[in-house]
Structure 1
Amino acid sequence: MTVRRGRQGPDVAPGDPGAPAPLSGLGFDPVVAAAWLYYQDDLTQSEIAGLLGVSRATVVNLLGEARRRGVVHVALDPGAAGRVALARGLAARYGLADCVLVPDDGGASHPAERIGTAGAQLLARELRSGDRLGVSFGRTVLALSKALPAPSPPLRDIEVVQITGSLTAKDAFSPELCTLNVATRLQAHCNHLHAPMFVSSPTMRAMLTAEPPIAGHLALARSCNRVVFGVADLTIDGTIFQSGMFTPAEIAPYVARGAIAIIASHFVDIDGRPVDGAHHERLVGITLAELAAIPQRICVSGGPDKVNALHACLAGGYVTHLVTDERTARELLQQG
């Protein structure tokens, strides 16, 4: 079937050089022609209307008739349908505004990389000019920061804000690197928190956070309208140990009091309630209550070790938009 563009409309007589070329071999069935052009040649409905010399509304009707006649059969991928049901189930259970699930790949890659990529796509879709975006840290947040596409058209007046103090032991998943990556991708203003994540004493924390530059930065973080963060589990191979943030001995008292996860450097129990302790009193960054007050809270996390940690984060109401993997979603829904 060949069709060429030209003058369209009732004033074009058959054989006129501006008329469409004949649809040879099809007997010019407009239903078949419209279906072929739309589903096989990937043309838009407006393009098809121009080629057939009809209105766009007529093209819509022709495509509907093609499905009714059986000219076109629409098949839904069972895997995709299952992911939709899982996502809706999670959203309903935890009161989420949106849930994005990454399909299982049989363990071929680390879930953090794939979840981070999906999170970057979600964040890119949500961002608007004038936004103030808070950024936490972790392996999945770092993957998101690397995968974030440059916005097109460019966004204006974006502020990217580090929401916790800096890590000094290892910088692989550091808050400052994650924040810088996101700001660079967005060509946005980068606001680093020039203070360590933990200081030597509660008194030092009170003094430091009272200093105008630090107090001003924390106020900026509290004023974010979006935030992206991950969830750390307390297993020995988790991010908190890889980053040098904690030693097993340091978290033992928190675990004894029921801690199951870390969100923005804060320990929480299985229901998402804060578990305070010596480190909490020395922490420089926004509080969990301040995190929960940010309007859009995008959590990127998943993997077999993160189910309980994610449940704690979701149960505590810290998430509005979740990006995780299919297996983790199933296990979350199976929990009582």
Structure 2
Amino acid sequence: MASTVTRRSSRQLSGEDIVVETAWLYYHDGMNQNEIATHLQVSRATVVNYLQEARERGFIHIRLAPEAFTGHRLATELCSRFALKAAYVLPEGVERSEDQAQRVTRGAAGWLPGLLEPGDRLGVAWGKTIYDLAEQLEQTTIPALTVMQLVGSMATPYGFSADVCSSEVARKFSATCINLHVPAVLSTAEIAQTLRQEATIAHQLSAIRTCNKTLFAVGSCKHDSHVVSSGVATDAELDDYVARGAAGVLCGRFIDAWGKPIHGPLDERMMGIELEELTGKDMGLLVSVGVERVVAAVAALRGGYATHLVTNLSSAQAILELSEPA
């Protein structure tokens, strides 16, 4: 494609100007790298470096239309199987498993702003998936948006807590943030009950129940899962819930294979939204990737906590296979 930009020597441009000029010629005017090199009188390698710098400095934002992912055959099957409003299925690529997770959270970060409207009240769960998603959100202003922390905070091996997840999402959307200033789980049910009656905490707990949209991931019931590493449950407590049919963990609470809450002693010590309050929302965005979370993802989908799902190809196939009607 011919460029409409008047040819100028690279000596007439410097610093940020030539990086922006290169990006414009490549992404807007459709020139290839060799054409740009000739146009700017630089080497092709220099053009490649300029384009890389443009991406790293945030000058370039490349998005594929959501329909490229929500129109996938597996996305349609997922919507039909679980009565979802939409599913977003990303291709596998050639990445390692940890990079696959980054691909899915990046896809979710690109999709989420389009699912939100002015005045929404977005409840945000926690975990590495949600933290990575928040980090990858682009700065966008959604008027009158309120972001709320759905579960109290605990230290994690990743160096962040639940309040960081909700605060970062709020910052990226220029939104009001309501954090829950308590631990996720207390040492006794009596202490938890006392804190729930404190005016400030009672107000925060009341506020999170008003969310009309939620953003969450689900954890497995394995001993290396987030629910144990964060200190929400001990190994013995996890074993007890698994013995009673636990298949996944959602907002620190256990669900069975059909998504029904498994109530136990831990619930009396938990500080956060209850599972019964997570259904019937305008949007429940579940972000899930990895074979180790398929059982938990199916449980959450069966339980009606999600209206929207972001996952990758292999996870989508595994979810459909596990939930195949008998």
TM over 0.5: yes
Letter in 2 for 1:96: L
Query: Is residue 202 of structure 2 the alignment partner of residue 185 of structure 1?
Result: no
Contact 2:124/2:149 (8 A) holds in 1: yes
**Match of 1:202?**
189
Distance in 2 between residues matched to 1:249 and 1:142, nearest whole Å: 27
Larger radius of gyration: 1
Q: Does 1:114 align with 2:103?
A: yes
Aligned to 1:237: 224
Give CA-to-partner distance per residue, 1:58-111, whole Å, 9 cap, x none. Answer: xxxxxxxxxxxxxxxxxxxxxx79971100000100000010012113442413
Partner amino acid for 1:121? G
Q: Does 1:319 align with 2:306?
A: yes
Which stretch of structure 1 is more off in the superposition, 114-123 or 238-247?
238-247
Partners of 2:69 and 2:105 lie apart in 1 by 22
Partner of 1:103: 91
Is the 1:173–1:243 contact (alpha carbons within 8 Å) kept by the matching residues of 2? no
Q: What stretches of structure 1 of length at least 5 have no aligned partner?
A: 5-40, 43-79
Give TM-score, length-normalised by structure 1.
0.72
Aligned length: 262
Q: For residue 263 of structure 2, what is the aligned residue in structure 1?
A: 276
Work out the CA distance in 1 between the residues paired with 2:230 and 2:2.
61
Q: Percent identity?
A: 35
User: Residue type of the partner of 2:127?
Assistant: G
Cα 1:200–1:127 shift into 2, 3 Å: same
Name the TM-score, length of structure 2 as normaliser.
0.75
For 2:288 and 2:3, locate their aligned partners in 1 and report how far apart those are by CA, in whole Å.
Answer: 49
Give 1:148's aligned residue.
137
Q: Aligned runs of 1:61-100 on 2, under 5 Å?
A: 84-100=72-88
**Contact 2:70–2:86, Cα closer than 8 Å, also in 1:** no
What's the secondary structure of 1:324's corresponding residue? strand
The partner residue of 1:260 within 238, 247, 256 is 247
CA distance in 1, matches of 2:296, 2:281: 20
Q: Is the 8 A contact 1:137 1:173 kept in 2?
A: no
Deviation of the 1:174 alpha carbon: 2.0
Structure 1: how far apart are the matches of 2:110 and 2:69? 20
Asked if the contact 2:121/2:211 (under 8 Å) is kept, the reply is: yes
- Detail structure 1 runs of 4+ shifted over 6 Å in the superposition: 1-4, 80-83
* Cα distance in 1 for residues equivalent to 2:116 and 2:157: 30
Change (3 A) 1:2 1:119: closer
Aligned equivalent of 1:24:
none
Indicate if the aligned counterparts of 2:106 and 2:136 stay in contact, CA closer than 8 A. yes
Q: How far has the Cα of 1:238 moved from its partner?
A: 2.2
Give the drift of 1:257. Answer: 0.4
Q: 1:141-179: CA deviations, max 9, x gaps?
A: 11110011112xx32222111011111465635211111
Alignment CA distance shift 1:124-1:86 (3 Å): same
- Contact in 1 for aligned 2:84/2:308 (Cα 8 Å): yes
User: How far apart are residue 132 of structure 1 and its match?
Assistant: 1.3
- Give how far 1:2 is off: 8.2
* Distance (Å, rounded) in 2 between the aligned partners of 1:163 and 1:198: 13
Query: Secondary structure at 2:278's aligned position in 1?
Result: helix
1:136–1:163 contact (8 Å) kept in structure 2:
yes
* Distance apart, 1:309 and its partner CA: 0.6
Q: Which residues of 2 match residues 28-47 of structure 1 at below 5 A?
A: none
Amino acid at match of 2:108: G
Q: Which digits, 9 at most, give the CA deviation of each residue in 1:117-137, with x for residues without a partner?
A: 111111111122222111100
Q: Which runs of 5+ in 2 are unaligned?
A: 5-28, 31-67
Q: Which moved more, 1:167-176 or 1:245-254?
A: 167-176
Residue among 120, 123, 133 paired with 2:122: 133
Cα distance, 1:302 vs. partner?
1.4
Residues 173 and 83 of structure 1: is their aligned pair in 2 closer, same or farther, counting only changes over 3 Å? farther
State how 1:5-16 maps to structure 2 within 5 Å: none
Hey, what does 1:18 align to over in structure 2?
Answer: none
